[in-house]
Structures are given as structure tokens and as C-alpha cells.
Chain A
Amino acid sequence: MDLLEVSKLNIRYRTKDRTIHAVRDLSISIKRGEVVGLVGESGCGKSTFGMSLLRLLPVSTDISAKKMMFNAGDGMQAGGIDILELSEKELRRLRWKHISVIFQGSMNSLNPVARIGSQFADAMFWHGFDDETIKNSISSHLELVHLDDSIRKSYPHELSGGMKQRVAIAMALVCSPELVIADEPTTALDVVVQRRILKLLMDTKEKLNLSIIFITHDISLLASIADRVAVMYAGSIVEIGDVRTLFRSPLHPYTKGLMSTIPRVDERQSELVEIHGSPPDLSGSIRGCPFAPRCGIATELCAVEMPQLRVVEGRHMVSCHNVEVQDGKND
């Protein structure tokens, strides 16, 4: 059984005068020990999806899904945990213990007026660990991210950006979760530090057999860390597949665009490929393919009919009218 199974997830943000349909019919499942990269522009719903797994969205948000199951490894919950059915109290047990999160710019998610050690203790206290265990696991987790035990007495401002990011990773792991949602964990860091943080995350993942959902806007990062990559556009997954397949033969015009728009240090480019236009307004209903207005190969059909995610081969799926897929294997 997969660790996480999500089927037909819809998330709507309600504001005073409009409703924003941020996630649209999203289906995905995550295996144990798998790293899934979720990539897309800002506003494509990738963070909204990540936060919905912990129910960390505003109360006014509408979340509905055909299925949103988390199958915890300890077998305590036969049939898995239905994330949408949990009460606040039950959510507290899910968060950090089963699913944890490394926030975007998590250097700023640390409490500036509390010492590192006490922030760890806070998170653990609520999961019923005793003082001795808390003390030991702070040490062992700081060691895991190559930090000296003495920094438990430091305040966040005394640490560098990279060190704070390590602390955030250690904290996310301290209650031994099965799934970590990493929401742009390296976006604010320099490339050199970024590479070390990615390496650290992958080493820890191997040691603890974690599953990771890695959310980013930089598709090139995923080549070195992800097992599978899902490309999101306007609230939906438009292409998903094994990392090798996706990088070697991307099919959706948006995926191709994302890959060719990046400046390369190992190539000479006289002009960069642009993806013209901007993503659609998610407050209304979208007719046809949401990418059609920006797409170079859009046809009349694209303007009127929303393409469905169809299987190309194996686990590779794409939603584009102009991609040939084998019939009869539609999902």
C-alpha cells in the first residue's frame, strides 16, 4: 500500500468577493522511501497542496477529495488515516509525528526569541516524549545534520542561513515522521550551500527511509534528488513521470518550456527560450486547456476541451491533446 494516496483533490480559497480554485482534481500517490518533486510557477497550487496534507490552510478554505489517505507504518490505524476527517486534536498527532514540513524560507520560521534547544523540546513535548528522550534526540538530530551540539543554546540570529536551514531540517525529523514536505527549502540559499543541504536531505532520507515531497520552482534541482517529478500548472498536474523519463523525453509543452527557459552554465546561449504570457486567473472556471493561451502548439480543440491526464507509458502520464498516447490505457 502506498504511504499517501490522494485522489481528485480540490481546494478552494474563499475570500469576501471571490473564490479561488487553487487545486483542481489533483491525484497522486507517494510510495514509502520515494522522493517526489513537485514543480511549477508561483500560484500553481503546489504549496497549497503541500499544506493541505497537514491541514495547515485557513479555516475558510474548502477542501474536498475522493480520497486523501495516509497509511501510517505502525499499523495503529487499520485502513489508514483519512486526513480530511481528523479533528484538531488528532491533527496534532499527525503533524510532526507522521508528516512534517520544512517551510519555505524556514530560516524565518524559527522563533527568534527562543533558543534552538527549546524549540526542539516544544515540538517533542506535545508528542509525549520525556525529558531524557528529548535531550538525547536533540543531540542526535543535530549530529545528523552535522551541527555541533552546543548550538542548542544559540538563538536563531546567531546562526548563518545554511545553519538555520539545517536546524529546520533536524526539527522536521525529530519525531521520526514518515513523510516530509519540503516546501522550497533551498530557495533563499546560495548554490554552494544549496547543494550541501540537498545532499544532507538525501543522506538523511536514506538513513531513515523517509518519503519526501519536494516542492520547488526550479526543475533542474529535481534531476539530482527526485525519483519522480510532477509538473503542476494552474492547480493540476499536467505531467508526471520517473525523473529519467521526464528529463529525457518531456512531453507537455509546459514541461519542455520549464526545462529550456533555464540559463545554463555548461552551455552557450545567445537567447533564452521564453514562456510568453502568464498563468490564468484561478478565480473563474477555465475553458479548455489552461496552458493553451501560452502554448505554441495549441489547436482549436485545446481552446474548448480540457485534456485529461493519460498514461503514455508505465508511470509516465501527461495531459495534452497533442501528445500521442496508447489508447485503452487511459486512467
Chain B
Amino acid sequence: MEKMIEVLNLRKTFGPARSLLRRSGKRRQVEAVAGASFDVGTNEIVSIVGESGSGKTTLGRLMVRLLDPTSGEVRFDGKNVFGMNKTEMIRFRRNVQMILQDPYDSLNPLFSIFASVSKPLNIFEKHLSRREKEEMVAEHLESMGLKPAEQFMHKLPGELSGGQRQRVSIARAMMLKPKFIIADEPVSMLDVSLRAEMLNRMKKLSREGGTSFLFITHDISSAKFMGDRMLIFFRGRIVEQGKTADVTERPKHPYTKVLIDSVPVPDPERGASFLNIDDAGGSSDESYSTSGCRFASRCRFVMDRCRRAEPPMFDVGEEHWASCFLYG
């Protein structure tokens, strides 16, 4: 498959830089993304699954260059995004769009829906007349189920429900027919009945419109529904990656297993066993190790070497990798 976007050993560290004057501060550096490498193919949906604080949002922001990395590269059409000049950057911005988590925060409350959705056109398609813009906006709103579009175009975000707002955000992201969309938890603020609709819509957009998606979520079930491939993220590291069916049906990394076992199953017969899964390996709460394998302190299968060194990615199947010494 052709690569749309390629991430090479990407690293982002937050916190005070080590300098001559402040060599030992009290504040620690936090490695939000610690050497991630993967790619997203043309027309492909890749899901990134991780808990809060795992660095998945930082990774998404790096990939659209809302943040600059500490080291590493993101290549779009073969070019390093962080080395692009202004013209190249403009082209990149046009082709890469983002859908954010909270539809209450991501639309300007003082802009009408038309103003928000037509904004990309004002920047990239200046030659269009007002009429042409209105037609395009209407077409996109209606394709997201906001019919008739005239009824919505001149409203303010405050007059729309959460689900309608998220549809507006998706319509805006699709406006310039981008090649690549990063959706960061696009449904987690929505009601269950709306989630299904949004997920179906995004999947359809990708299948029909030829757009690649990076779907960032904490919910492995919706990641399974959406993605062709899946990356499991833990504390800034990719701990497992592979085809969605392989990762969810034959998970290899102990963290992936815990994650899958923790998804509530709507079946009372299995309820008691669901609550009684022993995942902690004796440890409490959400602690993680600061050296070696980050999952070691919570892992049932922990071995001596796990605490000493960070496990590299091991081949565990066809296009399926896990970073765990159990497979090394």
C-alpha cells in the first residue's frame, strides 16, 4: 500500500530543558511520545488506542505540526513536515485536517455555521464567489445529514445540539477534500445513540472519499469498528500494532489483553467474571514503571529483564508486532 503519512522515530519531551544553569531542577521531564514509528496508507484508517496520559493526543498534534518534536520525522508524501518551507506548509495544511473531541470548544461561538465551515474556502479558494461558497457549504452540511442546510447555515453553534455541532466539525474538515484526517476522540463527548451515526459516517467518508484517517481513541471497541490497523499506546510507546482483527482477537501484549478484558460486555452471565479479572499482578492503581518496560509494575507476566531494559518490537505474526519480552 502507498504510504500517505509516515512517522519515523518521533519523540516529544515536555518539561524543563537541561541547561547549564538549571541542571538539576525539581521538575521532571515527561516523555509524552518516546520514539513512535508507523505509517498510514492511502485510503486506510489507523486507530490509536491508549488511556489518558498515554501521549496519544500529543502524537496527533505532532503529526499535523501543531507541536514541534524533540526529534524524529513525520513524512507526508515523502517530505519531512518539520522541514517544510512556507509554500509546502500551506499545501500540507490544505491536505491534512483535524476533528477535535469537544464540539463545544472547537467551533467559534460568535461565528455562524456558514462562517466556520466556509473559513477553509476563504483561505484556500479565494476565487470562489459567495454564491459558490454557499452552495459548497450547503452540499457538505447536507452530506452530514444537516438538512435542509439553509436552516443551519446562519445559526450560531449555541443553537445546535452536541451531535449537530460535531457534524459541522466533520463537514468543515471535509471541505477541502483533504487526503488525511486526524480525528482525536471525535465521539467521546457524544451520546451513545449519536456515536454509532458519527462512526458510520466517518467510515463511509473514508471508504468513498479516499481519505485516510488516524482515529485516536481510548475506546478499543470503536477503534476496532473503525480501523484497518490498530496501534496500542502505553506511556508514550507503541506496545502493539497490527491488523485490527489480529490485535483484538489475538492480542499479544499483556496491556492489550487487560484493555480488551476491561471493556464491559453487555451480558449479565459474564458480569461477575468481568469484575473479578485479575490484571494487576498484585500492584495497585495506575502506577507505571519509569525504567525498563513501562508496563512492568502492572504486568502479571513480569520477568527480571523487563525491569532492566525496554523491550524492542518483536514479530508476533503477519504484520503484527508487540513490544514484550514474552516474545523475544
Contacts and interface: CB of A to CB of B under 8 A. Distances in A.
Given A191-B220, A199-B276, A272-B199, A219 B191 contact: no
Contact of B248 (A198, A202, A265, A275): A265
Contact of B274 (A41, A161, A195, A217): A195
Contacts of A191: 218-220, 259, 262-264
A146 B280 CA distance: 13
A155 interface: no
Nearest to A264: B221
Contact of B265 (A161, A199, A266, A268): A266
A190 to B, nearest CB: 4
A271 interface: yes
A218 B192 contact: yes
A189 to B, nearest CB: 8
Contacts of B200: 271-272, 274
Contacts of B199: 263, 272
Interface string B253-291: 000001110111111111110111101000011100000
A322 interface: no
A37 to B, nearest CB: 11
Contacts of A225: 271, 275
Contacts of B161: 278
A86 interface: no
A274 B196 contact: yes
Contacts of B279: 192
Contacts of A276: 197
A163 to B, nearest CB: 6
Contacts of A247: 266-268
Interface string A272-283: 111110100000
Interface in A232-266: 243-244, 247-248, 257-259, 261-266
B191 A263 contact: no
A141 to B, nearest CB: 16
A282 to B, nearest CB: 13
Interface in B30-84: 51-52
Contacts of A194: 262, 264
Contacts of B263: 191, 265-266
A160 B193 contact: no
B245 interface: yes
A274 B266 contact: no
Contact of A223 (B51, B196, B264): B264
Given A224-B272, A225-B275, A259 B266 contact: yes
B45 to A, nearest CB: 13
A272 B269 CA distance: 24
B191 A243 contact: no
B224 interface: yes
Interface residues of B, number: 44
Contacts of A264: 221, 224
B3 to A, nearest CB: 26
Contacts of B271: 223-225, 243
B269 to A, nearest CB: 8
A247 B221 CA distance: 19
Contacts of A278: 161, 163
Nearest to A260: B196
Contacts of B192: 41, 217-219, 258, 261-262
Contacts of B266: 219-220, 223, 247, 259, 262
Interface string A139-168: 000000010000000000000111100000
B193 A41 contact: yes
Contacts of B260: 265
Contacts of B191: 41-42, 217
Interface in B216-266: 218-222, 224-225, 245, 248, 258-260, 262-266
- Residue among A41, A162, A191 facing the most chain B CB atoms (10 A cut-off): A191
Contacts of A243: 268, 271
Contacts of B272: 224
A221 interface: yes
Interface string A189-215: 011111110110010000000000000
A261 B285 CA distance: 31
A224 B277 CA distance: 12
Contact of A274 (B197, B264, B275, B286): B197
B262 A274 contact: no
A285 interface: no
Interface string B162-177: 1100000000000000
B220 A265 contact: yes
Contacts of A190: 51-52, 218
Interface string A168-203: 000000000000000000000011111110110010
Contacts of A265: 220-221, 224, 248, 260, 263
B295 to A, nearest CB: 11
A146 B51 contact: no
B204 to A, nearest CB: 9
A102 B219 CA distance: 24
5 contacts: A41-B193, A191-B263, A223-B265, A272-B225, A275-B196
Given A162-B286, A263-B196, A272-B225, 15 more contacts: A146-B284, A160-B285, A195-B275, A198-B275, A202-B275, A223-B264, A223-B267, A224-B268, A224-B272, A247-B267, A258-B192, A261-B195, A262-B221, A273-B196, A275-B193
Closest 9 pairs between A and B when the two form their complex, measured CB to CB: A224-B271, A272-B196, A220-B266, A190-B51, A275-B193, A263-B221, A191-B262, A263-B225, A265-B221
